[in-house]
Amino acid sequence: MADEERQERERRRRMRSIAIALALAGLVVLFYVATLVRLGGNVFNRPL
């Protein structure tokens, strides 16, 4: 029983960690996309 509980606890902790990682990755994508939208055509307007 204790072993089952430990496994379940670890599984849930792993799922929570994955969810946090996905949320952080989502936030990165969100700010990236928002920056592109905000800059619009100016994204390409830089000296080469």
Partner 1 sequence: MTDLGLHSGGLRCAHGVGGSIADYIALMKPRVMSLVVFTALVGIALAPIPLHPVLAVIALICIAVGAGASGALNMWYDADIDARMQRTASRPIPRGYVAPEEALTFGTILAIGSVATLGLVINWVAAGLLAFTIGFYVLVYTMWLKRRTPQNIVIGGAAGAFPPMIGWAAATGSVSLESITLFLIIFMWTPPHFWALALYRTRDYARAGVPMLPVVAGQDETRKQIVIYAALLLPVGLAPTMVGLAGGLYALVAMALGAIFLALALAIYRTREGRVADHAARRLFAFSILYLFALFATLLVEGSIGRLLD
Q: Which residues bind partner 1 (CB under 8 A)?
A: 5, 8-9, 12-13, 15-16, 19, 27, 30-31, 33-34, 37-38
Classify residue 45 as left (phi > 0), alpha (psi -120 to 50) or beta: beta
Tell the smallest beta-carbon distance from residue 45 to partner 1 (Å). 18
The angle formed by the CA atoms of residues 6, 24 and 37, to the nearest 5 degrees, is: 160
Q: Which is nearer to partner 1, 5 or 47 (CB)?
A: 5
Tell the smallest beta-carbon distance from residue 47 to partner 1 (Å). 27
